[in-house]
Structure 1
């Protein structure tokens, strides 16, 4: 397995090839090579599997005409080699690469349809000056292409290609743009492998079984090199009856497919989920070991299996994994990986980066974890990918089959339905429970940006719903399998592993489609032929399983555990600024999901989350932390927060009054987090003593600036927290009036105000529903007459100080809502008395008092004080809010008036 990259239409540029190649070193850590000839450049990264001593690429024929870079394995290469040798070809290596190259020299593009395996390749014909790109029949191996307008000689177009998207991004010849149409179809219809198009506008993928030729004059032809799709549909029309003999033949064919995929000079293992498909692969390998089959030398006497397990979760399949390990006892070393939500959170950025495009669920993270562990022991891994799409492994296929039977006669459909009820119930039980509980259904379009959704409202997506074989072909090449193969390639190659999929042996697939539909579904049993073929190999617990789980994560459970983190992402300013999302509706929906009041599923939130993280990773500006140097250094008490100033000249426009023109110096004090159980007084005084204790050594400038009267400012948040007036949003029982009223209040990016149902609920509990309704009516009238802030004037109290979760705050403030502190004047007076007792003697006489301040980057509001003068005087001292309650953790300040 390898990585390829290159260009057509440029002058020789080895530096470009090396940049592109270095982006995918994980695909081939065993070697690299580059080749240039006129307008073409080829680059290759090698993961050595077969003929490790030779087979380096790029590889050129003896006559110098053809040069290849190739990613994949052709399993029937020995048969093809014998045929080529009979035709007069001579070989210098034992690699399948040379067979692929010589086959192209002999048969041209017709060679590709002879291959049984997986590949993404590029072949340069130096005589015809043409470049051919091709991707295998099922698209197991990826190949991306991009036209770079005007980058070539004389401003002609050039082409870039690679095994991953990153090399194209790194080339510098592609201007990054999200593909809005693909994004809409992903969010709206859950499509994430949309034909040729990718999520990057202008970057396309070759489709399964497609080749692309760029001629000497720059003209481009793209066409299928195979009729495999048509052949499968033709076979389906002329079906053979299904019987025991067919099941035996299928077993022989599948066993041969597994045997072919054990060819390797490096260790081979098995990915074992506990489902029917991967378990079948594992027990077939075990049988081959027991029989002493020579191909199992790559496996060894102990088959290494790798399984993701989730103890205690509804998704856990460990008991099935254990049943397979018991069957293989004596010849198996079963390794189990237990992914956790904490690890998922830690790996999330790398996981998104690895996949390069958004996914429809977090399920492939289980595979990501398995591959990370497997690479410690093996280099090749077999798994069961593809069986579901050819043998109706998913529950919706039952509906397609039932409709097909209904068209043939009601009696046949009713008989099949009666034997499938338990399976179909699994699909409908969650929806039924949601309806019984009265949960609200929220359409996905409601969560999308209004303008974005309107621009793409004409998009449609439909699938074959009445013909089983047609639907299976559709899903093999378009609807389902392509995305699963993408995950497999990205996850395996991220950890320098080669993944092999024996179920996608094209001859095995053809055989299944040549049989009647009863080989696929009969009497409520899907994958019937596989069950029959492995009845004496697999434990009955697996062979007769009716429930389908697959390699996935307990996503709903994890999301509830990680709701704090995900809520913060949805709350972020970057999420709010995207044209794709309606942030207010997304937050309402996520809050409702947490509270169990709506029927939105975690898959919907994953798509929103994944898209946001993908945009952050591939499109947002990155902060160069190394260049910033001190970005992670904790500031001292005597320095300002980042992008803030210590000194401020008071301004009459901000209410300074007679103090206008006077300079104040504000020292933000960094603190630990405050919790409900903390003693506000004791903890706070500790920080003041630290400040004054270190002040003499802070320098002459600081000494000169601290001769005047000084004040202690404390954030209302930490006062409210220690008074027990801060609540996790999940613990606030939101009433219907709160949910309705909050929709008419704009959510600020900083989470301030009553735009959240949680903060509105606190306002109702604090002021009473009648007063909130009265103030709401007054506020609406105020808007009509151009008078702002009337709501807060009418509602009274400190309702203005109620805050919701804020993106910039550290946990738990980022998922909490809080009331204003109780009796803030008394708090200020109490703290002042303690300060006068505890601060060093020289500072007692100049202490002016304590201010409880509600400050943010939008406004300032003094909630309580025992310092003299109007509150506007102290609000003016915070006109630029020197505090930072996010990562800065500076919720208090010492403020000196300079004499």
Structure 2
């Protein structure tokens, strides 16, 4: 397996090719190559599988006319080689790459339809000055293309690659979101239903499509009639019997045997479902039969890789174990146990790997499996494609029942009666939601109104009454393309080659030539596969009717990670996206946490995945290198009480001319169960006890008057005045009023339904309405802050959750502390009793400060003097709001300033 990249329409540009090639090194760590000729450039990364010693690319024909950059495996290459040798062609290597190249030289683009395998390739014809790109029949291997403006402005350039990142790295593509793809993704869960991608101007070749580029322009067409052939075969309806099942078994075993061709180790991805289990037991039978030629790449023991989730409803370990029991003596099993915490840690890597949003977190289980598999093997077989080929999903039953109904009510009724247990599993969840009277929240309610209006004409439909037509749709358009994308990205991320034995076009044609009863009969889907493996698989799997597959316990994980996801929904970037209504999303997520609505985690995942994708691939990433270095150093170095926070300063000269030094004191997180006074005194004691060892410069700086500053957050938290947002029961007035409040950066203020609800509870709805009316008048007359002046009750100090705050502040809203002046006086009295001279006599008092990067406000103090003085001492917010965990500070007026 490899990676290809290149261009058509430029003069020789090896630097561009190198940039593109470097982006997909993971696809081919075993070698690389670049070729330029005329307007074409080809780049290749190699993962050596067959003819490891040779087969380097780009590869030329002996006469130098054709050059290929090829990603894939053609499994019938030995038969094709023999045919080509009979036609007089000679070969310099044993690689399938040379067979593909020679086949094109012999037959032109018609060669592609002869290939049985997977490929994404580029071939340059020096004589005709023509570039040909092609993608295999099923689209197992990707080819992305983009037509961009020529850097000199005259004409256009065609860019292509195996991944999207090389096109982005070319410097010629101007990144832009495809809003239509975003809408169809959020609204219909569609994310791979055509040639468009989420990047405007970047497309993928369709399965079975080729593209030609030369001086006459760019042309695209299908090189195969596979879809049409399948529909034609479907009309034959050959009888299904034991002989047909035996023939299918023979073909499937041969397909697996072909995909074991390799000079590097081969293993099996085993989920515990029917499809991957069938592959595993077929390989086991070949091992038992002593077929050393076929199983040489497997070794004496088959390596299997399974994701398991002990204690979860998604766990399939018992089925995996049943397969392993069958394979006892010839298997080395590897079980991977993905966790929610690992998912959180890997989330950005996972999003980056997939390059485009996906509809669930399920493929993360596969991501984890591939990470482990690469330690043991280089090639991995799995069961992709069987569901779309043989009706593996529950909705196919409904399609088949409608088809039977059109043929006659009796047949439909009989099939329905035998499928009730399967259909019940689908219907029970919908019925349960209705019986619990959960609030219905349509997806469009979570989206920005202008965005919805702009795409109101979009529709998504699929064949509903013809089984094989629906299967063809899902094989090439609706379902399988996304699964193959996950497969390719996850395997290649870890330099693995994934092979899919069910996606053999001859095996598929045979299934479609049989009657529909080979696919569904008497409530059993995948009937021909079940019959073919009846003597190979344990009955627990062969007769299993519930399907799970490689997925994650998403509901359980989302509940565990709700704090993290809340911080994403509360972020400023999410709030500013033109696609979503942040307030509605937050309200829906709150309702989901409480079990009050019918929104599912798939909906929230799409919103989260889209936001993370936008951050990774679309947003500008102009970082201050020095700031990054400082943050990295801060992350590994826990600061002392005598150092500033990263990017901040200990010293400040205020606008009043006072020279002050502020020492941010790091603490553990506070909770409502903490004794505030005891915690404060502990850190005051530690600060003064450590001063002598901090150095004479610090001792000299602390000889002037000083004050103890404390964040209002910790006071409110220890008073029980901080609330998780999902514990705040938001009423309709709060939701309505919060819409009319200008959001401050990062969500501080009353622009959130949660903080507005707290304001209503604290001041009363009549007073909030009165202040809101006054605030509206203030806006007209140019008077700022009138709302807060009229509402009183320290409403201005109410804080909403902020993404950068340390947990639990990132998912909490809080009121102002109660009676902060009294808190300050109480703390000052305790501090005076504890600190030694000379600091006792120079202590000026305690200040309860509400400070952030936007402004400062003294909420409480027992220190004499104008409170503006103390606000000026925090003009640059030296404490920090997040991981610094410095909610208190010792502030000294430098000697000679009193």
TM range (shorter): over 0.9
- Give the corresponding residue for 2:778: 786
After TM superposition, the score normalised by the length of structure 1 is 0.94
1:449-501, Cα deviation, whole Å (9 max, x unpaired)? 23222222222211111211111101100101011000000111111111110
Q: Tell me how far apart the structure 2 counterparts of residues 859 and 757 of structure 1 sit (CA, whole Å).
A: 22
- Describe the SS at the equivalent of 1:862: strand
Query: Are the equivalent residues in 2 in contact too, given 1:625–1:631 (CA < 8 A)?
Result: no
- Give the corresponding residue for 1:582: 581
User: Structure 1 residue 725 and structure 2 residue 721: aligned?
Assistant: yes
Cα distance change of structure 1 residues 314 and 896 upon mapping to structure 2, 3 Å threshold = same
Question: Residue 236 of structure 2 is aligned with which of 235, 238, 251?
Answer: 238
1:894 Cα deviation after fit: 2.7
Comparing 783-792 with 562-571, which one deviates more in the overlay? 783-792
- Give the corresponding residue for 1:818: 814
Question: Residue 706 of structure 2 is aligned with which of 707, 710, 724?
Answer: 710
Structure 1, unaligned runs of 5 or more: 652-659
Q: Tell me how far apart the structure 1 counterparts of residues 712 and 308 of structure 2 sit (CA, whole Å).
A: 46
Comparing 675-684 with 390-399, which one deviates more in the overlay? 675-684
Cα distance change of structure 1 residues 790 and 155 upon mapping to structure 2, 3 Å threshold = closer
- Give the corresponding residue for 2:609: 610
- Give the corresponding residue for 1:224: 222
1:111 Cα deviation after fit: 0.3
1:666 Cα deviation after fit: 3.8
- Describe the SS at the equivalent of 2:853: coil
Query: Are the equivalent residues in 1 in contact too, given 2:404–2:412 (CA < 8 A)?
Result: yes
- Give the corresponding residue for 2:205: 206
Q: Tell me how far apart the structure 2 counterparts of residues 632 and 195 of structure 1 sit (CA, whole Å).
A: 42
Query: Are the equivalent residues in 2 in contact too, given 1:9–1:218 (CA < 8 A)?
Result: no
Q: Tell me how far apart the structure 2 counterparts of residues 198 and 250 of structure 1 sit (CA, whole Å).
A: 36
- Give the corresponding residue for 2:311: 312
Q: Tell me how far apart the structure 2 counterparts of residues 703 and 516 of structure 1 sit (CA, whole Å).
A: 91
- Give the corresponding residue for 1:134: 134
- Give the corresponding residue for 1:891: 887
Query: Are the equivalent residues in 2 in contact too, given 1:182–1:194 (CA < 8 A)?
Result: no
User: Structure 1 residue 251 and structure 2 residue 245: aligned?
Assistant: no
Cα distance change of structure 1 residues 626 and 207 upon mapping to structure 2, 3 Å threshold = farther
- Describe the SS at the equivalent of 2:99: helix
- Give the corresponding residue for 1:777: 769
1:244-289, Cα deviation, whole Å (9 max, x unpaired)? 2211111111111111111111111110100011111111111111
User: Structure 1 residue 676 and structure 2 residue 672: aligned?
Assistant: yes
Q: Tell me how far apart the structure 1 counterparts of residues 756 and 147 of structure 2 sit (CA, whole Å).
A: 52
1:342 Cα deviation after fit: 0.8
Cα distance change of structure 1 residues 730 and 781 upon mapping to structure 2, 3 Å threshold = closer
1:352 Cα deviation after fit: 0.8
- Describe the SS at the equivalent of 2:295: helix
Q: Tell me how far apart the structure 1 counterparts of residues 337 and 644 of structure 2 sit (CA, whole Å).
A: 44
1:325-372, Cα deviation, whole Å (9 max, x unpaired)? 111112112211110111111111111111111111110000011111
User: Structure 1 residue 101 and structure 2 residue 101: aligned?
Assistant: yes
- Describe the SS at the equivalent of 1:633: helix
User: Structure 1 residue 295 and structure 2 residue 287: aligned?
Assistant: no
- Give the corresponding residue for 1:456: 455
1:165-186, Cα deviation, whole Å (9 max, x unpaired)? 1111111121211211111111
- Describe the SS at the equivalent of 1:841: coil
Q: Tell me how far apart the structure 1 counterparts of residues 793 and 123 of structure 2 sit (CA, whole Å).
A: 76
Kindly report which structure 2 residues correspond to 1:581-730, keeping only aligned pairs within 5 A, or say none.
581-622=580-621, 623=623, 628-634=628-634, 637-638=641-642, 640-642=644-646, 644=648, 660=656, 662=658, 664-692=660-688, 708-730=704-726
Q: Tell me how far apart the structure 1 counterparts of residues 45 and 614 of structure 2 sit (CA, whole Å).
A: 28
Cα distance change of structure 1 residues 27 and 784 upon mapping to structure 2, 3 Å threshold = closer
- Give the corresponding residue for 1:866: 862
Query: Are the equivalent residues in 2 in contact too, given 1:20–1:167 (CA < 8 A)?
Result: yes
Kindly report which structure 2 residues correspond to 1:554-569, keeping only aligned pairs within 5 A, or say none.
554-569=553-568
- Give the corresponding residue for 1:90: 90
Cα distance change of structure 1 residues 169 and 823 upon mapping to structure 2, 3 Å threshold = same
- Describe the SS at the equivalent of 2:468: helix
Query: Are the equivalent residues in 1 in contact too, given 2:771–2:791 (CA < 8 A)?
Result: no
1:192 Cα deviation after fit: 1.0
Query: Are the equivalent residues in 2 in contact too, given 1:775–1:790 (CA < 8 A)?
Result: no
Question: Residue 800 of structure 2 is aligned with which of 781, 800, 804?
Answer: 804
- Give the corresponding residue for 2:169: 170
Kindly report which structure 2 residues correspond to 1:340-379, keeping only aligned pairs within 5 A, or say none.
340-379=339-378
1:75 Cα deviation after fit: 0.6
1:117 Cα deviation after fit: 0.3
Query: Are the equivalent residues in 2 in contact too, given 1:775–1:792 (CA < 8 A)?
Result: no
Kindly report which structure 2 residues correspond to 1:403-442, keeping only aligned pairs within 5 A, or say none.
403-442=402-441
1:809 Cα deviation after fit: 0.6
Q: Tell me how far apart the structure 1 counterparts of residues 16 and 127 of structure 2 sit (CA, whole Å).
A: 24
Q: Tell me how far apart the structure 1 counterparts of residues 786 and 433 of structure 2 sit (CA, whole Å).
A: 41
Instruction: Figure out how many residues of one structure are paired with residues of the other and give that number.
Output: 885
- Describe the SS at the equivalent of 1:845: helix
1:741 Cα deviation after fit: 6.4
User: Structure 1 residue 277 and structure 2 residue 275: aligned?
Assistant: yes
Cα distance change of structure 1 residues 729 and 54 upon mapping to structure 2, 3 Å threshold = same
1:733 Cα deviation after fit: 5.5
- Describe the SS at the equivalent of 2:264: coil
Q: Tell me how far apart the structure 1 counterparts of residues 742 and 797 of structure 2 sit (CA, whole Å).
A: 16
- Give the corresponding residue for 1:655: none
Q: Tell me how far apart the structure 1 counterparts of residues 182 and 375 of structure 2 sit (CA, whole Å).
A: 36
- Describe the SS at the equivalent of 2:335: strand
Q: Tell me how far apart the structure 1 counterparts of residues 369 and 431 of structure 2 sit (CA, whole Å).
A: 34
User: Structure 1 residue 400 and structure 2 residue 392: aligned?
Assistant: no
Q: Tell me how far apart the structure 2 counterparts of residues 187 and 644 of structure 1 sit (CA, whole Å).
A: 41
1:828 Cα deviation after fit: 1.0
User: Structure 1 residue 113 and structure 2 residue 113: aligned?
Assistant: yes
- Describe the SS at the equivalent of 1:147: strand
Comparing 459-468 with 597-606, which one deviates more in the overlay? 459-468
Q: Tell me how far apart the structure 2 counterparts of residues 704 and 680 of structure 1 sit (CA, whole Å).
A: 30
Cα distance change of structure 1 residues 780 and 674 upon mapping to structure 2, 3 Å threshold = closer
After TM superposition, the score normalised by the length of structure 2 is 0.94
1:805-830, Cα deviation, whole Å (9 max, x unpaired)? 22121112112233333332222112
- Describe the SS at the equivalent of 1:631: helix
Cα distance change of structure 1 residues 211 and 78 upon mapping to structure 2, 3 Å threshold = same
- Give the corresponding residue for 1:264: 262
Query: Are the equivalent residues in 2 in contact too, given 1:134–1:206 (CA < 8 A)?
Result: yes
Query: Are the equivalent residues in 1 in contact too, given 2:248–2:510 (CA < 8 A)?
Result: yes
Q: Tell me how far apart the structure 2 counterparts of residues 643 and 30 of structure 1 sit (CA, whole Å).
A: 43
Comparing 42-51 with 859-868, which one deviates more in the overlay? 859-868
User: Structure 1 residue 832 and structure 2 residue 824: aligned?
Assistant: no
Query: Are the equivalent residues in 2 in contact too, given 1:772–1:795 (CA < 8 A)?
Result: no
Comparing 851-860 with 581-590, which one deviates more in the overlay? 851-860
1:156 Cα deviation after fit: 2.7
Comparing 544-553 with 624-633, which one deviates more in the overlay? 624-633
Q: Tell me how far apart the structure 2 counterparts of residues 131 and 218 of structure 1 sit (CA, whole Å).
A: 12
- Describe the SS at the equivalent of 2:563: helix
Q: Tell me how far apart the structure 2 counterparts of residues 90 and 473 of structure 1 sit (CA, whole Å).
A: 39
1:50 Cα deviation after fit: 1.0
Comparing 473-482 with 809-818, which one deviates more in the overlay? 809-818
Q: Tell me how far apart the structure 1 counterparts of residues 427 and 255 of structure 2 sit (CA, whole Å).
A: 36
Comparing 704-713 with 677-686, which one deviates more in the overlay? 704-713
Q: Tell me how far apart the structure 2 counterparts of residues 379 and 163 of structure 1 sit (CA, whole Å).
A: 19
1:699 Cα deviation after fit: 7.9
Q: Tell me how far apart the structure 2 counterparts of residues 237 and 102 of structure 1 sit (CA, whole Å).
A: 36
- Give the corresponding residue for 1:844: 840
Q: Tell me how far apart the structure 2 counterparts of residues 734 and 598 of structure 1 sit (CA, whole Å).
A: 14
1:694-739, Cα deviation, whole Å (9 max, x unpaired)? 6578788877765653222111111222334333334456667766
- Describe the SS at the equivalent of 2:632: coil
Q: Tell me how far apart the structure 1 counterparts of residues 198 and 245 of structure 2 sit (CA, whole Å).
A: 42
Cα distance change of structure 1 residues 19 and 354 upon mapping to structure 2, 3 Å threshold = same
